[in-house]
Structure 1
Amino acid sequence: MSELAEKVNLSRRTLLKAGALAGGGMFLSATMPGIARAATGAAEPAPLNAFVSIAPDGQVTIVGKNPEIGQGIKTMLPMLIAEELDADWDKIKIVQGDSNAAKYGPQIAGGSFATPMNWFPMRQTGAAARAMLLEAAGKKLAVDPATLTTSKGVITDPATGRKLGYGEVASMAAEATVPDPAKLKLKDRKDFVIIGREIGGIDSPKIVHGEPIFGVDTQLPGMVYAAYERAPVFGSKLKSADTAAAKSVPGVIDAFTLEGKGGPDQLVDGVAVIAKNWWVANQARGKLAAQWDTGDWTSHSSAGYDAEARKLMDGPPSSDVFSKTGDVDAAFATAAKTLDEQYAYPFLAHVPMEPMNTTALMHKDGTLEIWSPTQNPQAGQMGVAQMLGLKPDQVTLHITRMGGGFGRRLTNDFMHQAAAIAAKMPGTPVQLIWSREDDVRSDFYRPAGWHRLRAALDADNKLVGFDDHFVTFELGGAYNPAAMAPDIFPAKFVPNLRYAQSKMKTAVPMGALRAPASNAIAFVTQGFLDEVAEAAGKDLPTLLLELISGREKEPDPPGGGFGGPQRGFNPDRMRGVIEKAVAMSPWGKPAPDGHAYGFGYYFSHQGYFAEVVEASISAGKSPQVHNVWVAGDVGHTIINPFGALNQVKGAVIDGLGQATALAIKIENGAVAQSNFHDYPIPRMPFAPEIHVEWVKSDNEPTGLGEPALPPAIPALTNALYKLTGNRIRSLPIDRKLLTKA
Structure 2
Amino acid sequence: MTRAAPPSPGRRHFLRQSAIGTGALVLGINANDALAAITKPASSTDAAFAPNAFIRIGSDGVVTLVSKQPEIGQGIKTSLPMVLAEELDVDWQDVRVIQADLDPIYGSQGAGGSTSTPTNYEEFRRLGATARAMLVTAAAQTWNVPAAQCATAAGAVVHPDGKRKLGYGQLAASAAKLAVPDPKDVVRKDPSNFKLLGKRIGGVDNAAIVAGKPLFGIDVQLPGMLYAVYAKCPVFGGKPVSFNEAEIKAMPGVKDAFIVPGTPNLNGLRPGVAIVATSTWAAFRARRALKVEWDEGPGASHSWADFTAQAQAAAGKPGTTTLRNDGDVTAALARATKTVEAAYSYPFISHASMEPQNCTAWVKPEQGTVELWAPTQNPGAGQALVASTFSIPKEKISLHITRSGGGFGRRLSSDFIVEAVAIARQVTAPVKLTWTREDDLQHDHFRAGGFHFLRGGVDSAGKLVAWHNHFVTFANRIGRDGTTVLQPGSGGSLSGDEFPGRWLANCLLEQTALECSIPMGPWRAPGSNVFAWVFHSFIDELAHAAGRDPLAFRLELLGDKDLVSGTGERGVPYNVARMKAVLREVADKSGWGKRKFPRGQGQGIAFHFSHRGYIAEVAEVTVSRDGKLKVDRVVVVTDIGAQIVNLSGAENQVQGSVIDGLSTLMYPELDIEKGRVVQSNFHEYQLLRMPDTPPKIEVHFLKSDYPVTGLGEPALPPLAPAVCNAIFAAIGKRVRQLPLSKTDLSWS
Unaligned 5+ segments in structure 1 are 1-7, 31-47
Q: Deviations over 1:272-329 (max 9, x none)?
A: 1111111221221233311111222212111111111111112221x11112322222
Amino acid at match of 1:587: W
The reply on whether 1:639 has 2:645 as its aligned counterpart is yes
- Per mean C-alpha deviation after superposition, the further-off stretch among 204-213 and 454-463 is 454-463
The reply on whether 1:67 has 2:70 as its aligned counterpart is yes
User: Aligned ranges for residues 206-221 of structure 1 at < 5 Å?
Assistant: 206-221=208-223
Which among 699, 704, 709 is matched to residue 702 of structure 1?
Answer: 709
Q: Could you say what secondary structure the match of 2:740 adopts?
A: coil
Q: 1:28 to 1:75 in 2, by over 3 A?
A: farther
Q: Could you say what secondary structure the match of 2:201 adopts?
A: coil
Q: How far is 1:160 from its partner?
A: 5.2
- Per mean C-alpha deviation after superposition, the further-off stretch among 245-254 and 641-650 is 245-254
Which among 549, 569, 572 is matched to residue 539 of structure 1?
Answer: 549
Q: How far is 1:552 from its partner?
A: 2.5
Please say if residues 641 and 707 of structure 2, whose CA atoms lie closer than 8 Å, have aligned partners that are also in contact. Answer: yes
Q: How far is 1:490 from its partner?
A: 0.6
Map of 2:560 onto structure 1: 550
Map of 1:80 onto structure 2: 83
Q: How far is 1:27 from its partner?
A: 6.4
Q: Could you say what secondary structure the match of 2:574 adopts?
A: coil
- Per mean C-alpha deviation after superposition, the further-off stretch among 327-336 and 302-311 is 327-336
Q: Could you say what secondary structure the match of 2:587 adopts?
A: helix
Map of 1:601 onto structure 2: 607
Q: How far is 1:60 from its partner?
A: 1.3
Please say if residues 212 and 218 of structure 1, whose CA atoms lie closer than 8 Å, have aligned partners that are also in contact. Answer: yes
User: Aligned ranges for residues 439-518 of structure 1 at < 5 Å?
Assistant: 439-475=440-476, 476=478, 480-518=490-528
How many Å separate the matches in 1 of 2:617 and 2:210? 32
User: Aligned ranges for residues 112-123 of structure 1 at < 5 Å?
Assistant: 112-123=114-125
- Per mean C-alpha deviation after superposition, the further-off stretch among 288-297 and 115-124 is 288-297
Please say if residues 621 and 727 of structure 2, whose CA atoms lie closer than 8 Å, have aligned partners that are also in contact. Answer: yes
How many Å separate the matches in 1 of 2:127 and 2:85? 9
Q: 1:97 to 1:307 in 2, by over 3 A?
A: same
Q: How far is 1:19 from its partner?
A: 4.4
The reply on whether 1:53 has 2:56 as its aligned counterpart is yes
Map of 1:173 onto structure 2: 175
Q: How far is 1:183 from its partner?
A: 3.6
Map of 2:676 onto structure 1: 670
Map of 1:732 onto structure 2: 739
Q: Could you say what secondary structure the match of 2:55 adopts?
A: strand
Q: 1:418 to 1:14 in 2, by over 3 A?
A: closer
Which among 416, 433, 443 is matched to residue 418 of structure 2?
Answer: 416
How many Å separate the matches in 2 of 1:128 and 1:453? 55
Q: TM-score, normalised by structure 2?
A: 0.91
Please say if residues 11 and 180 of structure 1, whose CA atoms lie closer than 8 Å, have aligned partners that are also in contact. Answer: no
Q: How far is 1:622 from its partner?
A: 4.8
Amino acid at match of 1:705: G
Please say if residues 62 and 92 of structure 1, whose CA atoms lie closer than 8 Å, have aligned partners that are also in contact. Answer: yes
Please say if residues 326 and 506 of structure 2, whose CA atoms lie closer than 8 Å, have aligned partners that are also in contact. Answer: yes
Map of 2:6 onto structure 1: none
What percentage of aligned pairs have identical amino acids? 44
Which among 107, 110, 126 is matched to residue 108 of structure 1?
Answer: 110
Map of 1:241 onto structure 2: 243
Q: Could you say what secondary structure the match of 2:11 adopts?
A: strand
Please say if residues 26 and 173 of structure 1, whose CA atoms lie closer than 8 Å, have aligned partners that are also in contact. Answer: no
Q: Deviations over 1:503-555 (max 9, x none)?
A: 11101110111111001000100010000000111122111100123112146
Q: 1:73 to 1:556 in 2, by over 3 A?
A: farther
Q: Deviations over 1:643-670 (max 9, x none)?
A: 0000000001111111111111111100
The reply on whether 1:284 has 2:291 as its aligned counterpart is no
Q: How far is 1:621 from its partner?
A: 5.7
User: Aligned ranges for residues 574-593 of structure 1 at < 5 Å?
Assistant: 574-588=579-593, 589-591=595-597
Q: Could you say what secondary structure the match of 2:502 adopts?
A: coil
Unaligned 5+ segments in structure 2 are 1-9, 36-50, 479-486
How many Å separate the matches in 2 of 1:28 and 1:247? 45
How many Å separate the matches in 2 of 1:725 and 1:314? 28
Please say if residues 351 and 446 of structure 2, whose CA atoms lie closer than 8 Å, have aligned partners that are also in contact. Answer: yes
Please say if residues 58 and 166 of structure 1, whose CA atoms lie closer than 8 Å, have aligned partners that are also in contact. Answer: yes
The reply on whether 1:94 has 2:100 as its aligned counterpart is no
Q: 1:29 to 1:360 in 2, by over 3 A?
A: closer
Amino acid at match of 2:399: L
Map of 2:574 onto structure 1: 569
Please say if residues 16 and 178 of structure 1, whose CA atoms lie closer than 8 Å, have aligned partners that are also in contact. Answer: no
Q: Deviations over 1:659-712 (max 9, x none)?
A: 111111111100011111111111211211201111122212111000110110
Please say if residues 62 and 93 of structure 1, whose CA atoms lie closer than 8 Å, have aligned partners that are also in contact. Answer: yes
Map of 1:42 onto structure 2: none
How many Å separate the matches in 2 of 1:473 and 1:684? 33
Please say if residues 325 and 497 of structure 1, whose CA atoms lie closer than 8 Å, have aligned partners that are also in contact. Answer: yes
Q: How far is 1:175 from its partner?
A: 2.6
Q: Deviations over 1:418-470 (max 9, x none)?
A: 111001113x1111101100100000110001111111222222111111111
How many Å separate the matches in 2 of 1:15 and 1:285? 47
User: Aligned ranges for residues 169-568 of structure 1 at < 5 Å?
Assistant: 169-317=171-319, 319-363=320-364, 364-426=366-428, 428-475=429-476, 476=478, 480-554=490-564, 567-568=572-573
How many Å separate the matches in 2 of 1:528 and 1:450? 13
Which among 126, 133, 136 is matched to residue 135 of structure 2?
Answer: 133
Please say if residues 255 and 272 of structure 1, whose CA atoms lie closer than 8 Å, have aligned partners that are also in contact. Answer: yes
Amino acid at match of 1:730: Q
Q: How far is 1:253 from its partner?
A: 1.1
Please say if residues 13 and 182 of structure 1, whose CA atoms lie closer than 8 Å, have aligned partners that are also in contact. Answer: no
How many Å separate the matches in 2 of 1:621 and 1:258? 50
Amino acid at match of 2:649: G
Q: 1:291 to 1:23 in 2, by over 3 A?
A: farther
User: Aligned ranges for residues 612-631 of structure 1 at < 5 Å?
Assistant: 612-618=618-624, 622-631=628-637
Q: How far is 1:23 from its partner?
A: 10
Q: How far is 1:255 from its partner?
A: 0.5
How many Å separate the matches in 2 of 1:170 and 1:478? 54
How many Å separate the matches in 1 of 2:453 and 2:439? 34
Q: How far is 1:29 from its partner?
A: 10
Q: 1:191 to 1:14 in 2, by over 3 A?
A: farther
Amino acid at match of 1:450: F
Q: TM-score, normalised by structure 1?
A: 0.92
Map of 1:40 onto structure 2: none
Q: Deviations over 1:128-178 (max 9, x none)?
A: 111111112111111111110001110011135211111222222223232
Q: 1:622 to 1:437 in 2, by over 3 A?
A: farther
Please say if residues 27 and 51 of structure 1, whose CA atoms lie closer than 8 Å, have aligned partners that are also in contact. Answer: no
Please say if residues 28 and 177 of structure 2, whose CA atoms lie closer than 8 Å, have aligned partners that are also in contact. Answer: no
The reply on whether 1:721 has 2:723 as its aligned counterpart is no
Q: Deviations over 1:2-55 (max 9, x none)?
A: xxxxxx93258985442448997466999xxxxxxxxxxxxxxxxx99511122
Q: How far is 1:471 from its partner?
A: 0.4
Q: 1:498 to 1:557 in 2, by over 3 A?
A: closer
Q: How far is 1:735 from its partner?
A: 4.8
Amino acid at match of 2:71: E
Q: Could you say what secondary structure the match of 1:272 adopts?
A: strand
Root-mean-square deviation (CA, aligned residues, Å) is 2.3
Amino acid at match of 1:70: G
Q: Could you say what secondary structure the match of 1:568 adopts?
A: strand
